[in-house]
């Protein structure tokens, strides 16, 4: 699957779990990482960059477990240019049937200056570290960070060294997202023409979207000879994010007439994973986002695009079904049975066992009693709620609010088996409720994000609330869906708190936070 079998095949390297996950606030839990990795594996991603193993115990465990579970994808970990990083990376990825070590170093004058290495000394370091990685793993990716500011001759020299030392993929990152398509194509093309041995390796492109051109730059690099695109779901990533997987994949598919390359992605899985990544990261997708935005396939006048596209023989037409958006979406109701529910869940991308179906059916009936029509989005919200972690559980709550003064909230929680109640006042029902929870379970977590989405239309819509808490550098995100926004808010807050508690207990204070950033210069 991950071997380049023909020259027209473009490998998709997904870094949602590494470059995406490190965007401020997008931190995922261990279980969320496993779930996303499984979806990536299932949709045909060639290489999954699962994390930066030396950064923390949590990163190491996630990469290891993803490596053990992977079925089709090659599992990759990141490592700086030193033996400790590379060894730790190998310890994590070695469990995968197909694995990769991705090691990098900044090659520009600025990056050589910080560890105070001469050109020759850095060249030696590259030779040593890539050789070391290759001795451990038959598949090694090497990246010259800050490539575009590296002296041309030196860049060619170090790439040649990396290839000779055993690198099988050479990745050219546009770390600050400032490149333009013509430049992107030209750089890869010239490197392939110039560097001895370039024909024996795969060149990769890694773009950021700071000027809104990551997709075009990635595709231009492919035109220049790159055969691996590094990307993330929804373009998740620091600042304006990385190249969006869904955009490059659908562009290659739709405009295969002028971009005659193909990927191994099952595009019908795009919508489902896009929603899951949006939910677990707390990074919503804007309505007018290409491919996966709520409006991407919505036309004011249906006639229009039909008219435009009819008989359009020179390229593929994008249809909602192609990305897994079901065209006709009949809502379920209180009289819908278990079989109908299972059918619907399957079309939405969820496969459920009999026991799980039993549980979900109870929750579905409960929802259908309160809502006339249960829409796809309602079911997605229902499915994506974790089972409660058991430290704190909401028993009951009662809130009074309005215009006549402060809101009052009485919350009853079960805290490790004991019932506790508190009543607090605050600026609005949510503030009062969060205060009551803090009165019962004192903590110093800071609210970083509070977000409400109505997942369906109508006033009886379920609201999905996301809450992100931060404490001592640890971040936890909680979600909940309920027709009562205030109850959903309380549950999301408790969910996030439970996760913080788990992280604290598992690893001691602060231990799950990254100790090392890949950006710490080596």
Q: Of 47-55, 267-275, 379-387, 448-456, which part binds a copy of itself (CB under 8 A)? A: 448-456
Per CB under 8 A, 371 contacts a copy of itself: yes
Q: How far is the CB of 376 from a copy of itself (least distance, A)?
A: 17
| CB nearer a copy of itself, residue 8 or residue 138 | 8
Q: Of 115-123, 352-360, 385-393, 478-486, which part binds a copy of itself (CB under 8 A)? A: 478-486
| CB nearer a copy of itself, residue 194 or residue 400 | 400
Residue 78 neighbours by CB under 8 Å, 6+ apart: 18, 49, 51, 52, 53, 89, 102, 103, 104, 518
Q: How far is the CB of 379 from a copy of itself (least distance, A)?
A: 17
Rounded distance, CA 18 to CA 231, Å?
A: 11
| CB nearer a copy of itself, residue 22 or residue 70 | 22
Rounded distance, CA 67 to CA 64, Å?
A: 5
| CB nearer a copy of itself, residue 36 or residue 75 | 36
Nearest to 47 by CA among 20, 67, 74: 74
Rounded distance, CA 502 to CA 497, Å?
A: 9
Token pair 């590379």 is found at 86
| CB nearer a copy of itself, residue 344 or residue 435 | 435
- Chosen residue from 461, 474, 496, 500 binding a copy of itself by CB under 8 A: 461
Q: Please give the sequence-ordered ranges of beta strands (E in DSSP) within 85-136, or none if there are none.
A: 99-106
| CB nearer a copy of itself, residue 42 or residue 515 | 515
Q: How far is the CB of 1 from a copy of itself (least distance, A)?
A: 26
CA separation (Å) from 389 to 416, 494, 495, 512? 11, 9, 7, 18
Nearest to 66 by CA among 109, 103, 18, 120: 18
- Chosen residue from 116, 301, 328, 444 binding a copy of itself by CB under 8 A: 301
Structural contact between residues 162 and 169, judged by C-beta atoms closer than 8 angstroms: no
- Chosen residue from 5, 6, 7, 24 binding a copy of itself by CB under 8 A: 24
Q: Of 243-251, 358-366, 384-392, 499-507, which part binds a copy of itself (CB under 8 A)? A: 243-251
| CB nearer a copy of itself, residue 256 or residue 326 | 256
Per CB under 8 A, 277 contacts a copy of itself: no
Per CB under 8 A, 450 contacts a copy of itself: yes
Residues numbered 26 to 85 that lie near a copy of itself (CB under 8 A) are: none
Q: How far is the CB of 322 from a copy of itself (least distance, A)?
A: 12
Rounded distance, CA 301 to CA 290, Å?
A: 19
Token pair 């890869």 is found at 188
| CB nearer a copy of itself, residue 128 or residue 238 | 238
Give the three-state DSSP class for 143. strand
Per CB under 8 A, 442 contacts a copy of itself: no
**Residue span 317-336 as binding mask against a copy of itself, x where in contact by CB under 8 A, dash where not:** -x------------------
Per CB under 8 A, 310 contacts a copy of itself: yes
Q: How far is the CB of 299 from a copy of itself (least distance, A)?
A: 6
Query: 458-464: long-range contacts at Cβ-Cβ below 8 A with a sequence spacing of 24 or more?
Result: 460/370, 460/371, 460/372, 462/367, 462/371, 462/377, 462/378, 462/381, 462/488, 463/488, 464/279, 464/381, 464/488
Per CB under 8 A, 279 contacts a copy of itself: no
Residue 89 main-chain phi, psi, to 5 deg:
-60, -45
Rounded distance, CA 92 to CA 501, Å?
A: 25
Q: Of 28-36, 45-53, 178-186, 358-366, which part binds a copy of itself (CB under 8 A)? A: 178-186
Per CB under 8 A, 519 contacts a copy of itself: yes
Residues numbered 113 to 172 that lie near a copy of itself (CB under 8 A) are: 114, 146, 149
- Chosen residue from 73, 143, 267, 482 binding a copy of itself by CB under 8 A: 482
Burial class (CB in 10 A: 0-12, 13-18, 19+), 468: buried
Residue 288 neighbours by CB under 8 Å, 6+ apart: 295, 296
């Amino acid at each position: 699957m991950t071997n380049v079998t023909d020259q027209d095949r473009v490998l998709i390297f997904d870094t949602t779990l590494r470059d995406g996950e490190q965007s401020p606030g997008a931190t995922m839990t261990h279980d969320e990482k496993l779930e996303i990795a499984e979806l990536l594996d299932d949709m045909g991603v060639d290489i999954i960059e699962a994390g930066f193993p030396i950064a923390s115990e949590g990163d190491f465990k996630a990469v290891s477990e993803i490596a053990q579970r992977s079925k089709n994808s090659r599992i990759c970990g990141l490592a700086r240019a030193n033996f400790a990083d590379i060894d730790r990376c190998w310890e994590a990825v070695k469990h995968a049937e197909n694995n990769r070590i991705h090691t990098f170093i900044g090659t520009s004058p600025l990056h050589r200056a910080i560890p105070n290495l001469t050109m020759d000394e850095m060249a030696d370091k590259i030779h040593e570290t890539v050789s070391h990685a290759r001795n451990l793993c038959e598949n090694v990716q090497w990246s010259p960070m800050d490539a575009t500011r590296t002296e041309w001759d030196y860049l060619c020299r170090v790439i040649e060294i990396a290839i000779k030392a055993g690198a099988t993929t050479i990745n050219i990152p546009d770390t600050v997202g400032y490149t333009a398509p013509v430049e992107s194509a030209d750089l890869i093309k010239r490197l392939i023409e110039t560097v001895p041995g370039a024909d024996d390796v795969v060149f990769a492109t890694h773009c950021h979207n700071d000027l809104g051109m990551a997709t075009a730059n990635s595709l231009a690099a492919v035109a220049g000879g790159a055969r691996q695109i590094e990307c993330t779901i929804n373009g998740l990533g620091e600042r304006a994010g990385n190249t969006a997987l869904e955009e490059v994949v659908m562009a290659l598919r739709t405009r295969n007439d002028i971009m005659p390359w193909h990927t191994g992605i099952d595009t019908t899985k795009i919508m489902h994973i896009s929603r899951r990544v949006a939910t677990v990261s707390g990074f919503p997708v804007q309505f007018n986002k290409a491919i996966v935005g709520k409006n991407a396939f919505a036309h004011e006048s249906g006639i229009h695009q039909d008219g435009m596209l009819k008989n359009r023989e020179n390229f593929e037409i994008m249809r909602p079904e192609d990305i897994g958006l079901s065209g006709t979406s009949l809502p379920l109701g209180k009289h819908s049975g278990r079989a109908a529910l299972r059918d619907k869940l399957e079309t939405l991308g969820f496969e459920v066992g009999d026991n799980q179906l039993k549980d979900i059916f109870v929750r579905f009936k409960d929802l259908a009693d309160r809502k006339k029509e249960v829409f796809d989005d309602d079911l997605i919200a229902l499915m994506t709620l974790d089972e409660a972690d058991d430290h704190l559980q909401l028993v009951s709550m009662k809130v009074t609010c309005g215009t006549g003064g402060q809101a009052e909230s009485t919350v009853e929680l079960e805290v490790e088996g004991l019932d506790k109640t508190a009543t607090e006042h605050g600026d609005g029902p949510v503030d009062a409720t969060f205060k009551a929870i803090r009165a019962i379970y004192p903590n110093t977590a800071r609210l970083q994000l509070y977000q409400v989405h109505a997942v369906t239309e109508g006033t009886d819509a379920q609201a999905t609330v996301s809450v992100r808490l931060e404490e001592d550098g640890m971040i936890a995100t909680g979600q909940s869906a309920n027709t009562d926004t205030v109850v959903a808010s309380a549950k999301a807050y408790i969910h996030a708190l439970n996760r913080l508690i788990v992280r604290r207990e598992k690893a001691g204070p602060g231990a799950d936070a990254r100790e090392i950033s890949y950006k710490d210069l080596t």
